Amino acid sequence: MGFQSRSPLQASKGLKLGLHGHYSIERLCALHEYTKTKSYLHVTIVCVLMSMPPLLSVVILEMMPLHDPSAGWNNNTVFWIRSFVGIFIISVGVVFQLQAMAPAASLNLRQCLLLSIVAASSYVASLLLIAEYVAFPVPFTLVAGVPAWALCLFPGMALAIGVARLKHDTTLRAQFLRFGNKIMLESNFMVIYPVYSLVFLSLSGASQFFFMFVLQIIKLILKKSMVKLIPDMEDLVPVVVISVDLFNALYQSKCMQSAGSLLATSGIIAVDAVQNLFVLRGLFRNMEEVMVAGQLSVSSKGLLAHVLALVDDPDTIAVDALLGVRVAASPSLRLPDQQKKLIDRLHTAQQIHLDSEISPPAMISFKPATVPIAPARATSMASASVSPAPVTESVKLDPTAPMFPVKADISCAEKTLFIKKTLQLLFKCELVLLVEYIESAISLLYAIYLLILYHLPNAKYYSEMAEVTPSELQSAVLGIVVYAFLEALSLIAVHCVLRWKFNMSALHQMAFVFQTDWLVIQSAFMAWVIMILQFTLEHNGVDFSFRFKWVHNATDTSV
């Protein structure tokens, strides 16, 4: 049940879902199992530690003392070492993302590290050549080194996977191309957001406030574009679009730091607060829909156990409605044997209905099979018989006891609606929780980073830190911390409401996502935090006036 191809109709349906998708039944089972087995202490530690690696990485890089770039490229050895380390970490993250988005690639750790070393070496080597024959700093260093890095990394990935495998395995090829398209789209972030930041800094007061709405529009467009790349991996949508939220949160924090006016900073916080209220309102509306669909309060065991009881109930549910529910997760997840059997039964039922191609509405029943089953295979997935009826069709499967107690007997249509509404709610919760966590944790991370950087020698090489006074730093950090606190309040609100209405822990769901999809999330964290926070370093040759005075000076000197 790993990566599964989907029909064009299903793929287009995934596209239309966009950011309004559904959990798969397999992911629901995995979340329920995680919630049962992990303590609050465990999930709290997971959530706190998730943002620590990128902070530690960028602080370690800043603790490497740099020389003045005017000393020349050959007198800035520490900068080149730092560049190699930074791009190596980013490369490892990119290769890990390939592992998550293209499971069929099956690269081992040795291959991942070797690819990252080669890519990082080519990146630094190309920049050294430009520095020698053009000028140092290399204009837009972080962008100038990307072609050499990509020309080594992506062909290297293809060779590591196997050119023959990519040629003959259509599933693997589709996964690899999808991954490449995602990286290409994300590379545009390095142009879009710095340009936005440049325009923002050229404005002042009320103009900066109104220009913040453009950032929200950019965020929405990029998210929609990202979703279109993975119509067949709906479970990964919240974690794949996380890179957009990372960029947005970091640049929003940088805008607050450099706004220079209380009006602009207050406006940024106010706009985000209003946006959060609308998001939470929509989420709470989804919760009410789940309550109405269930027609009763969820049992004390919680929403997850309750909906799984309905899924596993031996009553009938409409097959055509069931076909709209994704059973298998992509990529697949680890589950206990009993829950694997449930997934197998549901998947088999869907397949039987698709194969039968019955046009009238059909019903499906998880009842004892009419074909005799050997005792030794009574609990495994067995053959099923199809019994046509005038209006409905019944598909009979193996007998298995329900895993969870059902609180109340509801009709077939009500059960199906309740299941679908719950899966939609879980998807929306994951989206909201990740966005609020990112905006809170990244903002707090940036505030801590500023406080540390201010006391390090390298601060003088950052344009936004070179002439900052202690009072200006305090004011900027305070605004960012207030923003992070408001985002944390949104998280707490979601957790409290879910706990009150559904006996469900938002903290557990957030930690579940972090542990289940840590490759995608952590690689995005590491890559973008390292790249964005050192983007304006003087050694990286950022000059949006495109005058590059040091290049002309170097040319005049050589003449």
Q: DSSP for 447-479?
A: HHHHHHHHTSGGGGGBTTTTT--HHHHHHHHHH
Dihedral over Cα of 525, 529, 530, 535: its sign: positive
Answer whether 67's CB lies under 8 Å from 75's CB.
Answer: yes
Residue 343 to residue 348: CA distance in whole angstroms: 8
Tokens of 377: 């295979």
Tokens of 132: 């020698």
Q: How many CB atoms lie within 10 A of CB 48?
A: 11
Tokens of 350: 């869907």
Give the pLDDT score at 384.
37
pLDDT along the chain (559 residues), means of 10: 39 43 89 93 94 93 94 94 95 90 86 95 97 92 92 94 91 89 87 83 78 84 86 80 86 76 71 78 80 59 81 60 71 80 77 61 42 37 37 38 45 76 90 91 94 94 87 89 89 88 91 92 90 92 83 60
Give the pLDDT score at 37.
93
Give the pLDDT score at 321.
60
Give the pLDDT score at 397.
37
The length of the chain, given as a count of residues:
559
For the chain, give every domain's residue range: 1-27+192-309+423-502, 68-187+517-559, 314-401
Answer whether 551's CB lies under 8 Å from 139's CB.
Answer: yes
Give the pLDDT score at 262.
67
Q: How many CB atoms lie within 10 A of CB 186?
A: 20
Answer whether 138's CB lies under 8 Å from 147's CB.
Answer: no
Residue 274 to residue 223: CA distance in whole angstroms: 20
Residue 105 to residue 173: CA distance in whole angstroms: 9
Backbone angles phi, psi at 379, to 5 degrees: -100, 0
Give the pLDDT score at 256.
77
Answer whether 363's CB lies under 8 Å from 392's CB.
Answer: yes
344-351 contacts: CB < 8 A, separation 24 or more? 344/381, 345/381, 345/397, 345/398, 345/400, 346/25, 346/311, 346/322, 347/1, 348/381, 348/384, 348/397, 349/319, 349/322, 349/384, 349/395, 349/397, 350/319, 350/322, 350/323
> Of 420, 419, 401, nearest to 341 (Cα)?
401
Residue 538 to residue 47: CA distance in whole angstroms: 34
Answer whether 407's CB lies under 8 Å from 299's CB.
Answer: yes
> Of 553, 355, 525, nearest to 437 (Cα)?
525
| Alpha helices, H only, 136-241 | 141-144, 146-161, 163-168, 170-187, 189-202, 206-227, 237-240
pTM for the predicted model, two decimal places: 0.80
> Of 23, 30, 14, 35, nearest to 427 (Cα)?
23
Residue 435 to residue 432: CA distance in whole angstroms: 5
